Amino acid sequence: MSDGEYIVEMRNITKRFPGIVANDGISLGIRGGEIFAFLGENGAGKSTLMSMLFGMYEPDEGEIFIRGEKVTLSSSNAAAALNIGMVHQHFKLISNYTIAENIVLGIEPLKKAAGLFPCVDIKTAEKKIRDLSKSYGLEVDPTLRIEQVNVSTQQRVEILKMLYREAEILIFDEPTAVLTPQEIEFLLEIMGELRKKGKTIILITHKLEEIKQIADRCAILRRGKLIKVLPVKDASTQELANLMVGREVSMSLEKTPSRFGDVVLEVEGLTVRNEDHFEVVKDVSFSIRGGEIFAIAGVSGNGQIEIADAIAGLAKPHRGRISLKGQDIAGDSIRARTEAGIAYIPEDRQKYGVILDFTLGENLGIKKYYVPPFSEGGVLRPEGFRQFAEDLIVRYDIRSGEGAKTPTRSMSGGNQQKAIVAREIALDSDLLIFVQPTRGLDIGAIENIQKQILDERDRGKAVLLISLELDEVMGLADTIGVIFNGELLKVSPAGELSTEEVGKYMMGVKG
Ligand SMILES: Nc1ncnc2c1ncn2[C@@H]1O[C@H](COP(=O)(O)OP(=O)(O)OP(=O)(O)O)[C@@H](O)[C@H]1O
Ligand SMILES: [Mg+2]
């Protein structure tokens, strides 16, 4: 028995993986009805600790108490039976099932067909989902398949799935990383509501403002160890950041004046249609010079991803010209575009960014596996991969259990992300397309990646930055294009637009 003060209590929890102690003797208690945040660098052990509370792993050592009772959480079903729910950092949805089917999976409501045969009553489920999504402001169309909706909708589905199961202890692993600022506000309000109704919320996030805004207490992890648990109101964001990283972090960017070179990318009259033949990008034209960071600001879902996909070759434009250093590339394959000088960090990294079953070293070298140092005379050179990987691992502080030979699947979300950024920058391409390059990264890593992006620009690269973080756009961009409903409403040098103005254009307010 524990003393009853806590709804969740962990005592001396240790979890080891090959080459690393992910959680090292962690003891803490979470009170019923509070919002308890976890803060820590990428790879600090946050997801691992919460995965054990959700029954996905068992601790090597230590005990877990729920409502005062010692429990063995040997599966997520065992956790669900104790009313514990979790929204994972990487979604666990089935892409060719509908949203409703995903949400009810395993607990489908039944009805009798022709009054006789039990079959899944998807209509009832859809209605319940519609009601839920309305009351929480988490808009979804339950009849769409997961593969038809974007990342942010998928995240909403995960949240609805947990709410549908009426969990009492709700674990959110970086739920806001893929949401727009408006959606984040909504979610934080929802969390406040849930707390009022007595639910306990565990929130893993890298965003200090979210912790300040909503959490009651915060635990800080560093390299597998619990550093401190403290009431949020007593600490400033700067203090939290310093505790997390273990040193003083600077929260500002230094940017040298821009020196533009020749035009690298020219897009003219680009029009992209989606599956339903609807124009999601409408007659968009812009160009990016060497040494220029061109940022597209916009609310998610306004066509920015489709622009990036069309340039990189993942989506076929309906109309328009795309030229790279004067060469028309609109008909080229993805690989031909990579060779012509395009690096791409896509929105959905686990789908297009990395191959989870490959090692870290393989993923870092994968885009150039057919040339030295990765292969010679058609034969792969493991040594070439290893050396290349080790250099990037140091430069980008990519943390994992076993260095280059770590299976990518086992790496923490933020460290997978760092690996993709490192690989794409290392391609030494003339055009770098970055979609949400710092999503899911801790403050120290964001600082590092943003510096690297500025370095590339200073080396004369053209950068297309697509970010939902207005701060990131304002901090990095030389030129800002604001997209709304598939149209570039405004293109302007960054210095001539205030954050408020950009925000207005993002909402479709012209002039
Ligand atoms: N299944 C696994 N097999 C091997 N190593 C693992 C596994 N899961 C996690 N690890 C390792 O444990 C460490 C902690 O990972 P974890 O995912 O808990 O970090 P995190 O704090 O959630 O980081 P992030 O902020 O990047 O999501 C990492 O070094 C990771 O490589
Ligand atoms: Mg994590």
Q: Which of 13, 48, 225, 359 to mutate to test the pocket of ligand 1 (most atoms within 8 A of CB)?
A: 48
Query: What residues pair up with 273 in beta bridges, in sequence order?
Result: 279
Convert 319-332 into a string of H (helix), E (strand) and C (coil). EEEEEECCEECCCC
Q: How far apart are CA 42 and CA 40, in angstroms?
A: 7
Mean residue pLDDT across the chain: 91
Beta carbons of 397 and 448 less than 8 angstroms apart: yes
pLDDT at 134: 85
Residues in the chain, how many?
511
Distance of CA 485 to CAs 284, 482, 488, Å? 11, 10, 8
Separation of 182 CA from ligand 2 center, angstroms? 23
Q: How far apart are CA 341 and CA 433, in angstroms?
A: 11
Measured from the Cα of 40, ligand 1's closest atom is 21
Ligand 1 atom 2 nearest Cα: 410
Token pair belonging to 414 = 């933020």
Convert 346-370 into a string of H (helix), E (strand) and C (coil). CCCHHHHHCCCCCEHHHHHHHHHCC
Separation of 160 CA from ligand 1 center, angstroms? 25
Ligand 1 atom 24 nearest Cα: 42
Place of tokens 């709700």: 170
- Residues near ligand 1 (Cβ within 6 A): 17-18, 20, 22, 40, 42-48, 89, 399-401, 410-415
Place of tokens 């409501």: 109
Query: What residues pair up with 297 in beta bridges, in sequence order?
Result: 482
pLDDT in tens, 472-490: 999 999 999 999 999 999 9
Measured from the Cα of 224, ligand 1's closest atom is 14
DSSP letter at 139 equals -
**pLDDT-flagged residues of the chain (< 50):** none
Separation of 292 CA from ligand 1 center, angstroms? 35
Strand arrangement of the beta sheet that strand 479-484 belongs to: 342-345, 431-435, 462-466, 293-297, 479-484, 487-493
Q: How far apart are CA 67 and CA 161, in angstroms?
A: 23
* Predicted structure pTM score: 0.86
pLDDT at 437: 92
The CB density around residue 96, as the number of other CB atoms within 10 Å, is 9
Q: How far apart are CA 137 and CA 118, in angstroms?
A: 33
Token pair belonging to 267 = 């897009």
Separation of 294 CA from ligand 2 center, angstroms? 30
pLDDT at 3: 55
Separation of 43 CA from ligand 1 center, angstroms? 5
Q: Which of 13, 14, 17 to mutate to test the pocket of ligand 1 (most atoms within 8 A of CB)?
A: 17
Residue type, 374: F
Distance of CA 442 to CAs 16, 35, 215, 263, 330, Å? 22, 20, 18, 34, 36
